[in-house]
Amino acid sequence: MMNRMNISPNISATSLPQYQRRNHVIQWQVPSRGWVKCNYDASHHDGDQDSGMGWIIRNSNGHFLDCGMDKYQGRVSAVESECSALLWALQATWALGY
């Protein structure tokens, strides 16, 4: 059920893209020292039974720790896909001991 992928440990917060929205630059921020941050996302197109989901865990230095991504069936909306991605990210983070 969970696909994990190997990504270079050289990924850091400084190598992440910035996104421009309504004249505001949104940039990922590192968690407090001693903490990890798990970001997640999902993609769903109305009328399609497939949803793509993923998560990534990084430490307080912005270094990659673990991640997962997969395609799921049976979600009927973007909200349901996002909620499923959140649940999966929480379960994975807990299972990995964070």
Residue at 77 is within a domain: yes
Q: What is the pLDDT of residues 1-56, one digit of tens each?
A: 445 544 444 544 555 555 555 677 788 899 999 999 999 999 998 888 889 999 99
- Prediction pTM value: 0.71
In which domain, by residue range, is 91 found? 32-95
Confidence at residue 18, expressed as pLDDT on a 0 to 100 scale: 58
Residue at 2 is within a domain: no
Residue at 80 is within a domain: yes
Residue at 84 is within a domain: yes
Mean pLDDT of 66-82: 90
Residue 85 burial (C-beta neighbours within 10 Å; 0-12, 13-18, 19+): buried
Residue at 48 is within a domain: yes
Residue at 6 is within a domain: no
For residue 40, give every residue at least 6 positions away whose Cβ sits within 8 Å of its Cβ, in sequence order, or none. Answer: 53, 54, 55, 56, 85, 86, 88, 89
Q: What is the DSSP letter of 77?
A: S
Report CA torsion sign: 27, 19, 83, 66: negative
| Domain count of the fold of the chain | 1
